[in-house]
Amino acid sequence: TRNLRFLNSFNWWIKFSFLRSLFRLNSIKSSFWLRFYRLNFWLSLNFFKERFRLWILNRFNWWIKFSFCRWFKNCFSRLLFYLRFKLWLWWFWFNFIIWFIKVIIRFIYIILRFWWL
């Protein structure tokens, strides 16, 4: 029982040392908190990028809507043209995202084939 108790306590010491090494901040790569702070930093950058994009949209949305006055005198046809343009943009980005996901899946498939074969 003495030897078994010693081995069990040594196993717990290994576990605790491994857990401490994750939170010790000796190395940048082996630190959970540094990864967490880096993740928050990139998320905040994405937040500011989105705010800048919304500011640009609010700045130029009026011009995009009413720049068709030269060709379309009627407001209803102008609105239809603008909505069709927006729909086309949405459709384009949707298809582009789907295409990009397909490319990533194919790339992963090729990598796995080369890895396993």
Per-residue model confidence as pLDDT tens digits over 91-113: 999 999 999 999 999 999 888 88
Residue 35 in domain:
no
Residue 54 resides in a domain: no
* Res 96: pLDDT: 94
| 105: in domain | yes
Separation between Cα atoms, residue 103 and residue 111, nearest integer Å: 12
What was the pLDDT predicted at 56? 86
Q: Is residue 39 part of a domain?
A: no
Could you report the per-residue pLDDT of 58-81, keeping only the tens digit for each?
Answer: 888 777 777 766 666 666 777 777
Domain assignment of residue 92, yes or no: yes
Which domain does 105 fall in, by range?
74-117
CA–CA distance, 33 with 22 (Å, rounded to integer)? 8
Q: Is the residue at 63 inside a domain?
A: no
Residue 23 forms part of a structural domain: no
Question: Is it the case that residue 83 has pLDDT exceeding 70?
Answer: yes
Instruction: Give the pLDDT confidence score for residue 77 in this predicted structure.
Output: 74
> Is 6 a member of any domain?
no
CA distance 38 to 29: 11
Domain total in the chain = 1
